[in-house]
Structure 1
Amino acid sequence: MVQDNWFQYEYRRTSTDYFREVFHAHSQMELTYVHEGRGLLIIDGKSYSIEPSTLLVFPPFRMHRIQIQVTEEEPFIRSVLVFEPAMLHGYLHEFPSLKSFFQRLTLQQANVHPVIAMAETEPFVTLLKQFSSTMGSIREVEFEENVGVFLLSLVHQLKLSPDGESAFLKKHHHHVEDIIRWIEKHYMEPFRLEDLADELHLSSYHVAHLFKESTGTTIVAYTRATRIRHACSLLRKSTLPLSEIGYRVGIPNPSYFSKIFSEIMGVTPLTYRRHLIK
C-alpha cells in the first residue's frame, strides 16, 4: 500500500469479515474498484447495489455509506485510490476539456454515477494493475510525476464512462421506499418514529426492523445523514448563516449541528463552505 497525506493507493485490498461503514465523507477524491463482493451503497438519498466488476466514484465531500456481506468464501476485494484533487491541477492546464470535467466532478456537478459497471479488461482497471506492479520500482524523485500521469489517465477514462441512470439503482420493499420518501419530506421537523409508523399504518418496531434489515442502518442514522446532506446543499448554494442552516434542516442547536456535521463530513460546516469557495 502506498500512503501519504495527498495520495493513498492499495491494489486488491481484501476483507474476509463483515464490512460496514457509517455515513461519512472526506476532502479527497475516492475511486474504489470492486473485484469481488456484493452489498449496498447509500449516497445522495439513493441506494445502489454493489456487485463485482464495478467502480465506485466518490467526489470530495460526497457523503456515503457502504455495506458488504462478506464470508471467507465470498471476500470483499477492492482496489482503493484516494487523492487530493489539488494534485492534478498542474497537469490539467494542457487539457481544457479534461480540466473542465474534473472541476465539475470535484464540485459534484458532473454527470458521473456513483456505481459504474466496468469489466476487469477495461483500460481503467488495467491502469490500476499496471501502476500497482510498477510503483515499487519508481525512483523517489520521479514518484510524484508518475502519480500525476497515472491519475490523469484514470480521470480521462472516467470521463469516457457512460452516463445515464445507473443500472445498479436498488429498489427496496415498498415500505422502505415509503420510509425514505417520508424522511425526505419531514427531515426538517423533530423526528418521531411514532409519526412515521402511524402514516405507514405499521408498528414502530416493524418500521425500524424493516428499514434496518433492508439498508443495514437505522432510521435515526439515516435521518441524521439526510439532514446533513441537505445542509451541504444549503452551504453550497446559499450564504445563509450556519445557525439558520441548522434550523432549516431540523438541527436548531448550533453547537450540536456543528458536532454532527463534523462527525459525518470530517470538517466543520464553516470549513466545508470555505473549501467550496476557494
Structure 2
Amino acid sequence: MTITSLPNILRFGSISEPLWIEFDRRIGYHSMDTTHYHRSYEFFYLYSGERKFFIRDSVYPIQSGDLILVNTNDVHRTSELSQPNHERIVLHYDLPFFDGLSQEETQLLLSPFASAHPIIKLNLQERMQLESLFESLLRELHECPPGYQLHVRNTAVELLLFTARHVQRRKVQPGSELELTPVQQKITDIVRHINQHFREPLLLDDLAKRFFISKGHLSRVFKEVTGFGFSQYINITRIKEAELLLKETDWSITQISEHCGFENFSHFGKMFKELSGLPPRAYRKLEQHKING
C-alpha cells in the first residue's frame, strides 16, 4: 500500500476520546477556519505540500517531511503558503491514553512536546522510518482487520517513542531555529506582548504606536502571519485563561471576566460560548463533574 492509494479522508476516534487520528488529502488552497487550541497533545506530520504553521508566538514555514509537536493548550493555526494541495496526518493524544503506563514512561513519551522548538526537521532515513509507521497505521485504518484498534494504539505509542528518542539524540534540531523575516519578528514581538498583557486593555491603535507600525498595516500583517485577526487572538488568549480559572478556582464568573481583561460581561459570555462551546457556568459544571467522576 502506498499513501496515494488511500482515500482522501481517514478517521479514528473523536475529540472526546483518548486517541483521535485524522488523515486528510486536501486539494486546492486551505486554511483552518476555526480557532484552535485543545487539551490534547497534537502530533502533526506533513506528508506533502507546504504550509504556514503559527504556534505559541511564532510562525514557521513547513514542508513535506516536517513534524510539528503542539503542546496541550498551545494556540496554533495552519494556513496556505504559495502552493495549493497538501496531505497531512494528525494524532491527538489526551492524558487518559497513557493510563496503564508508568509515570516515567508517560514523561518520556510526552517530553518532546515541552521542547522550545516545536518543528522537527527529519533527515531522509528518519523520514522513511516515520512514514513506515504511518503507512502501517493508515493501512489498518483503511482495511480494519480484526484487532486493528489494538494495532493503531500500539503504533501511536511507537510514534511517540521514536520522536522522544530522536529529540534526546539531537538536543537542538538543526534548522529548528528558523530565521524570521523582519515582519514575522515584529508580529512575534506583538504576540508575546499580548500573551503577557492580555489582562490589560489592548487596543490596535496603542500597539501600533508602541511597535512603530501603522494601524492598518498591523491589522493586515497580523492576520497574514498568524492566521488570526488581531481582536480574535486577544479573545482566544483571554478565554483560555478564563477556562483555567473556571476549573481551578471558585471565583465568581464576574471576577473571572474582569481578571481576564473583559470590560463588558455580556461580551465575555458571548466570546466564551463561541470559543468553548458552552456558557461559562455550564463549562465549570462539566469540568467539576469530570473531576468528581
TM range (shorter): 0.7 to 0.9
d(CA) in 2 for partners of 1:239, 1:55: 39
**Matched residue, 1:152:** 157
SS in 2 for 1:189: coil
Q: Distance in 2 between matches of 1:209 and 1:136?
A: 42
Q: Aligned partners of 2:141 and 2:178: how far apart in 1?
A: 33
State whether residues 25 and 264 of structure 1, in contact with CA within 8 Å, keep that contact through their aligned partners in structure 2: no
1:246 aligns with 2:251: no
User: What residue identity is the alignment partner of 1:179?
Assistant: I
Does the CA-based 8 Å contact 1:30-1:83 persist in structure 2? yes
Letter in 2 for 1:2: R
State the TM-score, normalizing by the size of structure 2.
0.72
Letter in structure 1 aligned against 2:157? L
Q: Distance between the aligned counterparts of 1:124 and 1:207, measured in 2? A: 39
What is the one-letter code of the residue matched to 1:23? T
Separation in 1, partners of 2:67, 2:96: 22
Per-residue deviation, residues 182-237 of structure 1 (Å, max 9, x unmatched):
43454222332222233344432233233334334322122223323444666687
The reply on whether 1:42 has 2:42 as its aligned counterpart is no
Q: Is the 8 A contact 2:109 2:161 kept in 1?
A: no
Distance 1:242 1:50, change over 3 A: farther
Find the aligned partners of 2:72 and 2:286 in 1 and give their Cα distance.
10
- Cα 1:170–1:248 change in 2 (3 A) is farther
Match of 1:257, as an amino acid?
F
Q: 2:38 corresponds to which residue?
A: 26
Q: Where does residue 134 of structure 2 map in the other structure?
A: 128
Letter in 1 for 2:67: L
Residue 226 (structure 2) pairs with residue 215 (structure 1): yes
Question: 2:11 matched to which residue of 1?
Answer: 2
Q: SS in structure 1 opposite 2:202?
A: coil
Give the aligned residue type for 2:259.
Answer: R
Provide, for residues 6-42 of structure 1, a one-character-per-residue CA deviation record: whole Å limited to 9, x for no partner: 3443446233223234331234443220122333222
Contact kept in structure 2, 1:63 and 1:265, CA below 8 Å: no
Task: Return closer, same or farther for 1:126/1:168 CA change in 2, 3 Å cut-off.
Answer: farther
SS of corresponding position for 2:88: strand
Q: 1:262 deviation in Å?
A: 4.6
Distance 1:10 1:43, change over 3 A: closer
1:180 aligned partner: 191
The aligned residue for residue 97 of structure 1 is 104
Higher RCO (CA 8 Å, separation ≥ 6 residues) = 1
Q: Report the TM-score when normalising by structure 1.
A: 0.76
Closer, same or farther: CA 177–70 of 1 in aligned 2, 3 Å: closer
Write the deviation string for residues 210-269 of structure 1: whole angstroms up to 9, x where unpaired: 333433432212222332344466668766554433322212445543543453355655
Extract unaligned runs of 5+ from structure 1.
Answer: none
- Per the alignment, do residues 230 and 143 of structure 1 end up closer, same or farther by CA in structure 2, a change over 3 Å counting? same
- Report percent identity of matched pairs: 23
* Native 8 Å contact 1:34 1:78 kept in 2: yes
Contact 2:242 2:256 in 1 (8 A): yes
Equivalent position SS for 2:59: strand
Note the alpha carbon deviations across 1:143-189, whole angstroms, 9 max, x for none.
Answer: 33222211221121122232548424745425434533443454222
Asked if residue 270 in structure 1 is aligned to residue 284 in structure 2, the reply is: yes
Letter in 1 for 2:86: F
For residues 258 and 2 of structure 1, the distance between their equivalents in structure 2, rounded to whole angstroms, comes to 33
Classify 1:273/1:157 alpha carbon distance in 2 versus 1 (closer, same or farther; 3 Å): farther
Instruction: Classify 1:144/1:181 alpha carbon distance in 2 versus 1 (closer, same or farther; 3 Å).
Output: closer
What is the match of residue 82 of structure 1?
92
Q: Name the CA shift for 1:200/1:63 in 2 (closer, same or farther; >3 Å).
A: closer
CA-CA distance at 1:83 after TM superposition: 4.7
* Unpaired segments ≥5 residues, structure 2: 1-9
> Which aligned pairs between 1:163-174 and structure 2 lie closer than 5 A?
163-164=171-172, 166-168=176-178, 170-173=180-183
Q: What is the match of residue 115 of structure 1? A: 119
- Secondary structure (helix, strand or coil) at the match of 1:116 reads strand
2:7 corresponds to = none
